[in-house]
Amino acid sequence: MTTATQLRQQTRMIRGTVLLPGDTGYHRARSVWNAAVDRHPRLIVRAAGADDVAAAVRAAGELDLEIGVRCGGHSAAGHAVPDGGLMIDLTPMGGVAVDPASRTALVQGGALLGALDRASQEFGLATTAGNVSHTGVGGLTLGGGMGWLARQHGLACDNVTSFTVVLADGSITTASAAEHPDLYWGLRGGGGNFGIVTEFAFRLHDTGSNASSVEVDFPLDQAAAVLRGWRDLNATAPRQATFTADIENGLATVGYVWTGDRQGDTSLLPAIRSLGRPCGERVVRSSYLQLQTRIDTAGRHGKRRYAKNHYFTGLTDEAIEQLVTGADDPMFPGAGLQAYGGAIADVPDDASAFSHRGVAFELNAGTGWTDPAQDAARIDAARSYAARLAPFASGAYVNALGDEGADGVRRAYSPAKLARLTELKNAYDPQNVFHLNANIPPSR
C-alpha cells in the first residue's frame, strides 16, 4: 500500500490543503449531511482552484484511488466520500461573482446555494436554486435543480450558460451551446458522470426580493379529500405559485410558495381553506432570502437520513389514498409533495439530459433520526411506503436517488436518454473514473 509519505509526495503540487487520517480537519472534511455515512478516504484534497482539481484527478489515477467529489455533501448516499479513496473537496472554492449588467453569476464548483442567492439578491436578482441554503450548487445543478423559481424560470440546470469542467484525463475544458455542445447537453441533468465542474455561469432573473408562503393544516381524517382538491387547484395555478403538501406529525398541510410581485399572493387562500375544515393556517410574507433558509434547520446536517422519491405525472385518487395510508404510524417517514410544470415543461425534452419534464408532482418521503438502533425500522418503513406508491409513479428525480443503484438510474432517465448519456460517457469518461454518483457506466 502507498505510504503517507508517497501520498504527500504525489500531491505536493496542490495549492490547497491535503489531509490524511490523523491530520487536523480530516474528520470535519469527511463528514457529510447524512450522519449515517462514516467513510474514511485515504486522502482529502481541499482544492483551491481548477488546477488543483486537475492535479488531484491525475494523482488519483497514478495512485489508483477511487475519486469522490464533494460540494455541499448532501447526497444521501454519501457519494462525495470514497472509502479508502481520494476525496476532492470543492468547498474552499465557494465564491460567487455577479455581474448585474449582464445578469450573470460566475459560481465556483464548491459553492453552496446560500452564497449564490445572497450575491444575486444584492441586485434584486436570482436564479432557480433549491429550498435549503446549505445544499451544494454543484450536485443540485448537475442533476437538474428544482426550486421555488423553477415554474417561472426553469430548473437550475436550464439557467447554466456554460460550465468549466475538469475531465477524466485531468484536462480542463468549457462546455456551452457553442463549445462541446454534447457535453453541455449531458451536464444539464446527467449528474457528476462526465467531469468535475469548477465553474458554472448562470443566467439571473429580475425576481425582486419578495416571497410569500401559504400553508393550511387539516386533520389526517380529511387528508385524502383535501389532497384531491389541492391537486385539482394546482392544475390552474399561476406560475408564481408552487404548490406544496406535507403529511407529517399527524397533519396534512397544503398550500403554496409564491415568488415575485406580491399582487395576488394570497388569492388562492380561500380556495385552499375551503378544501375541508382547517385546524390551522400560516401566511408568511418574507424576503426571498428568508424563504430560501426557512427549512435549513429542519434539513440540517448531523442526523441519520433515509429518503425515497417518486415522480407523478398525474396523482390519481388511488395514489392519494396510498399517500395518506399509515400517516398516523409513529414510523411514517413523512411525505412532501412539490409541484412541477410551468417553465420546467416549456423546455423541450431532448434539450438536456434532465428527464421527466412533464411530471405534475415530486414526492419526497424522508426520515431523519439520531439513534443508530432505529436504522432498520426507519429504513424499512420508508421503503415499504415507497413500494406501495411505486405502481402510481412515473419515475424518480436523479438527485434524490439513494441506495437504488442501476434500478434508480433507469427510473431517472428514459431509455433514449440513458442510451445518449451512455454514448457521452463512452466519449468523455470511458474508464468510469467518475462513478461515485448516480452512475451511467460506459458500454465499451
Binding site for ligand FAD (CB under 6 A): 33, 69-75, 79-80, 90, 109, 130-132, 135-136, 138-140, 142-147, 192, 196-197, 299, 399-400, 436-437
Give the Cα-Cα-Cα angle 160, 166, 167 (nearest 5 degrees).
110
Give the Cα separation of 388 and 22 in Å (integer): 46
* Closest separation in Å from C-beta 158 to ligand FAD: 12
**Nearest CB to ligand FAD, comparing residues 57 and 132:** 132
**Nearest CB to ligand FAD, comparing residues 33 and 202:** 33
- Beta pairing partners, 67: 86
Please, which residues have CB within 8 angstroms of residue 206's CB and are 6 or more apart in sequence? 103, 124, 125
Asked if residue 205 lies in contact with residue 234, where contact means CB atoms within 8 angstroms, the answer is no
* Closest separation in Å from C-beta 3 to ligand FAD: 27
Separation in Å, CA 411 to CA 154, 310, 321: 21, 9, 23
Burial string for 50-74 (b: 16+ CB within 10 Å, else e) reads: bbbbbbbbbbbbebebbbbbbbbbb
**Nearest CB to ligand FAD, comparing residues 139 and 408:** 139
**Nearest CB to ligand FAD, comparing residues 80 and 183:** 80
* Closest separation in Å from C-beta 281 to ligand FAD: 23
* Closest separation in Å from C-beta 416 to ligand FAD: 23
**Nearest CB to ligand FAD, comparing residues 160 and 324:** 160
* Closest separation in Å from C-beta 366 to ligand FAD: 8
* Closest separation in Å from C-beta 111 to ligand FAD: 9
**Nearest CB to ligand FAD, comparing residues 146 and 275:** 146
**Diameter of the chain by CA atoms?**
69
* Closest separation in Å from C-beta 385 to ligand FAD: 18
**Nearest CB to ligand FAD, comparing residues 276 and 299:** 299
Asked if residue 197 lies in contact with residue 173, where contact means CB atoms within 8 angstroms, the answer is no
Q: How many CA atoms lie within 13 A of 236 on its CB side?
A: 6
